[in-house]
Every structure is written in structure tokens, then in C-alpha cells.
Amino acid sequence: MAVQEFVAPKSLPEAQGIFANDGSASWLAGGTDLLVGMRLGMRDPSRIIDLKQIPELMALEVSDDSILIGAAASAYDILHNSEIGSLCPGLADALDLIGSTQIQGRCSAGGNLCNASPAADSIPALIANGAVCRILGSSGERLLPVEDFLVGPGKNALKADELLVQLVLPKPMLGTSDAYLRLTPRTEMDIAVAGTGVSITLDTAGVCTAARVAIGAVAPTALLVEAAGQALVGSKLEDEAIDSAVTAVRAAASPISDKRGSAQYRTHVVGVLVKRAIQRAQARINAGAKA
Amino acid sequence: MSTPLNKLPIQAVINGEPKMFLAAPGQVLADVLRDELELIGTKIGCNTGDCGACSVLVNDRLVCSCLVLAAEVEGQSVQTIEGIADGAVLHPVQQKLLEHGGLQCGVCTPGVVVAAKALLDSNPNPTEEEARYWLAGNLCRCTGYDKIIHAVLDAAEAIREGAAS
């Protein structure tokens, strides 16, 4: 079986109409997972629907209270949107760690999320930033937090007739910043052994008023660790508070052992990364306050 | 594997010239460039976006042509290694790769040239670190990269001096 048809709809209703008629169709955003999957014989769509002509899927907008990222917008486009990069430097760091310059020219945050790899770099950063999926189906639109969109390794919550349209992030308020850190044996072109995305809000006295901690590559899906965030709220991010967050993260981790690292190693490393990511987000807030 | 009869007519600007060609719905740009347009300078290494040998620019954006469907470039501009030199005059990146001996077997070289040109178009004065990160997706099994990086930094300097003079 080979691909029989390629279509590039120009609007959401047009895309949905095509998809509803054909269960063996695949959405195409950047293609960095789909085309590799087809090459490896793991994906075999009869029809490919290119999403990049649909304005909503390519949108990048920052408003007073939210950041909107079209699901098919490339990492390159997001990284070169100066507003998103400065509002969410941790999310930008995560996107900048995906693949090569060539891959970043194509790969999308929406595709990285739909592909649902446990080790995906952008997902913990999206969760930390409180990103919500805007999903369009034949019965209308629904919203789903990113942490609830992930069902298992390579599995997402989209139904057969649904399309991920956009990611909506609350615009970080004053005193908020984020960080993403991962460990890889090589500096480039590698997949996380463990990763973490952290978003923190500090008041003017340096007291943490909100925190979200997410971890990747140490469980079947990226996870929001609510207990880790709660351990930080009310503290000035002293060692005891951070140690509590690290303990919570290690308790939530349930990694596999494979060639990239043993379960024990990953559990240890994700805690180290969380500590450093908290401190990096804190340093970013302090640098912003001085500026 | 069945051969689809429903090939699509695609119009795109290839190396500055409007072209029309036929592509199967699932055919990747790298295959069309080589097999339909006879632009065999673009090499295919891994075919999975890992090695960068098939690097081209689509609307000035650096991509792996093995991970782009030919049908996606309808109405867009594609620049391949064949469009980098100005007639018989090599691009500074090509000239400096020659001078530094920044190639041996040559399979990665077209991709390296296209990627390095894209770097210098967007950043005329990259640090060594920036050049190494930018080119991390172009695998070379011969040179050990040092001579490639030196050639790219030297080309950057040559371009800056040329622009200043």
C-alpha cells in the first residue's frame, strides 16, 4: 500500500470533511515523525492531509492573557518569535534541543505532543507552562490540559475524528519564568535520558506563589508532579523546599531500564535536573526583576 | 508495492527557475530532485532525517529533503546544491572547503555546503560553537569535522570582507 492521495486543505472545515471520510488518512504537520514512520513501515496512510495551509494551525499569537501556538507551526517559527522566546525561555530551550537545525525547520510542538514520546523534549515544558490543547472534532471543540492529552507511549487522547488545532498557554505573569533541562549522553542529536520542565512564580519578596514541575523520559508519559510544585509554594526556594520537590519527583518517576540508562540512574538524574531547573527559573526571574 | 497512477503536477521554483514536474502523493522531495529533475547533487544517506546529506532550502528554510513530500513544495522555492555556486564561481563555503580539505568521500559535502550557506545567510559572524551546533545535523564520517568548521568560519570571514570592500 502506498499513499494514494495528498491534499492540502485551506480551512479547518475543509480538513475535517476530508478526514471524516477516510479512517486511513494521516495529518501531516512537519513530517519528522510521520515520514520516518512510513519509511520504517510503522505508518501506512493511504491519504495525507497537509495542515500547513490552514491559518489556525500555523498561528503564533501573544495577547494580554494568553499565548497561542498553532499545532503545525515549526520549532523554527516559534523560536524566531521573539515574544514567545522571551516569555517562555524554557519552552524555547526545549524546542531548540529537538533534533538538528534541519529538523527544527519542520518539526512542530503540536506534532511532538501528538507523537507522545515519553522522552519528547517540548512536552514537559508545555505542561510546566500550563498549556491546554484546543481540539476540534465533528461534535465541536474541546479543551484538554496537555498532561491529560497523553495516554501512553505513542498514544494520545485524540479520537478518530479529532484534530489538535492549537496549544494555548496562559501568558506568564510578572515574576514568572520557566526552564527545561534534559540529560543526554551527547550534546546534540540525541534523546533525553531524563528531562524536566519547571515554571515558577515569585512575589517581590522572593516567595514562591505558584509552581508547576513536569518530568519526561522517566514514566510511560511526561508527567505533571503536583506534589513537587506544592513543595515549593510558600517557600523562598530554600534547600529544604527544593529537596522536598526533588523527593516528590523521584517518587513519581517510574522509568524503564534501557541502553540509555538504568531505572535507578534515571530516577536519580531527574531529581538533579529538577533542582537545577528550579534554580535556573529562579535566576531568570531575578535577572528580569533587575532589568 | 503498487505504483500510484495519480501523480500530481507540481509547480515550484527550483534554483531560481520555475519548474513543473510530476510527483506521486507519497514521494519525498529528495527522490523527485534526483529522479525527476536530475539534480543528483543532493545525496541521500539515511533517508530518516538523521544525516543531513539531503539538506536543501525550502523558502530559505534549511530542511532535510528526505522528510519533505514533493507535493508540499507546490508554489514554493527550493534551493539545492546546484543553485549555490554563481556559474563557474564557487560560493565562499565551497571554495574554503576545497582550500581546507574539508571533504574526503564527498557524500556529506552538498548537505554541508547548503547548511553552512543557510547559517551564514542568517548569521554572518558565527562563533565556532554556533557553527558546530548549526551543523550538528550534518554527519561526516571522514573528516572529523574540524576542517569543515574551519572552512565555514573562514568562509564567513571572506564573505564579511567581500561585503566590506
Minimum CA–CA partner of A106 in chain B: B63
Q: Mark whether A112 and A249 lie in a shared domain.
A: no
The CATH number of whichever domain residue A206 belongs to comes to 3.30.390.50
Element spanning B18, H or E: strand B17-23
Q: Which residue of A has its CA nearest to B29?
A: A35
| Same domain flag for A108 and A133 | yes
> Computed over its alpha carbons, how large is the radius of gyration of chain A?
19
Domain boundary among the residues A116, A146, A170 is at: A170
Q: How many domains does chain A have?
A: 2
Chain A residues whose beta carbon lies within 8 Å of the beta carbon of residue B134: 101
Q: Which helix H or strand E contains A148, and what residues bound it?
A: helix A146-149
pLDDT at B151: 98
**What is the torsional sign of CA A120, A124, A127, A129?**
negative
Domain at B92-164, CATH homologous superfamily? [2Fe-2S]-binding domain (1.10.150.120)
The answer to whether B50 contacts chain A (CB < 8 Å) is yes
Q: Which of A58, A101, A106, A189 to mutate to test the interface with B (most CBs of B within 10 A)?
A: A101
A134 in the same domain as A31: yes
B44/chain A closest Cα distance in angstroms: 13
Decide which of A134, A150, A170 is a domain's last residue: A170
How many other C-beta atoms lie within 10 A of the C-beta of residue A10? 9
In this complex, the residue of A2, A100, A187 whose CB is nearest that of residue B137 is: A100
Task: Give the SS3 label for residue B14.
Answer: strand
Q: How close B104 gets to chain A, by Cα (Å)? A: 23
Alpha carbon distance B10, B70 (integer Å): 8
pLDDT tens-digit map of A22-68:
778 999 999 999 999 999 999 999 999 999 999 999 999 999 999 99
β-bridge partners, A158: none
Q: Which helix (H) or strand (E) holds A273?
A: helix A263-290
Cβ atoms within 10 Å of A160's Cβ, excluding its own: 9
Specify the pLDDT at position A187.
80
- Distance, in angstroms, between B87 CA and closest chain A CA? 26
Give the torsion sign (CA, A263, A269, A275, A281): negative
- At the top level of CATH, which class does the domain B8-83 belong to? alpha beta
Same domain, A231 and A210: yes
Cβ separation B71–A6 shorter than 8 A: yes
A125 lies in the same domain as A185: no
* Same domain (yes/no): A148, A223: no
pLDDT per residue, tens digit, chain B (165 aa), is 444 568 999 999 999 999 999 999 999 999 999 999 999 999 999 999 999 999 999 999 999 999 999 999 999 999 999 999 999 999 999 999 999 999 999 999 999 999 999 999 999 999 999 999 999 999 999 999 999 999 999 999 999 999 876
Determine the pLDDT at residue A24.
86
Tens digits of residue pLDDT in A166-190: 999 999 999 999 999 999 988 878 8
Q: How far is A217 from chain B (nearest CA, A)?
A: 21
Size of interface A-B (CB pairs under 8 A): 101
Kindly list the residues from chain A whose CB atom is less than 8 angstroms away from the CB atom of residue B10: none
A52: nearest CA in chain B?
A: B72
Test B136 with A32 for CB contact under 8 angstroms.
no
Q: Does B63 touch chain A (CB under 8 A)?
A: yes
Q: State how far residue B165 is from chain A, nearest Cα, in angstroms.
A: 31
Chain A residues near any Cβ of chain B (below 8 Å): 1-6, 8, 28, 30-32, 35-36, 38-40, 47-48, 50, 52, 74, 76, 99-103, 105-106, 187-189
Q: Print the domain residue range for A273.
A: 176-290
Alpha-carbon distance of A190 to A65, in angstroms, equals 35
pLDDT lower than 50: segments of chain A: none
Tell me, yes or no, whether A25 and A70 share the same domain. Answer: yes
- Give residue A170's pLDDT: 98
In chain B, what residues touch A46 (CB-CB under 8 Å)?
none
pLDDT of A2 reads: 87
* Cβ contact B62–A189 (<8 Å): no
ipTM given for this complex: 0.94
Q: Which of A145, A170, A195 is the last residue of a domain?
A: A170
Shortest Cα distance from A39 to chain B (angstroms)?
7
Query: Are both A67 and A12 inside the same structural domain?
Result: yes
**The predicted structure's pLDDT at residue B2:** 45
Chain A CB contacts of B74 under 8 Å are 8
Write down the pLDDT at residue A182: 97
- Domain boundaries along the sequence of chain B: 8-83, 92-164
Q: Please indicate, yes or no, whether residues A186 and A242 belong to a single structural domain of this protein.
A: yes
- Do residues A142 and A230 share a domain? no
Query: Residue A93 belongs to a domain with what CATH number?
Result: 3.30.465.10
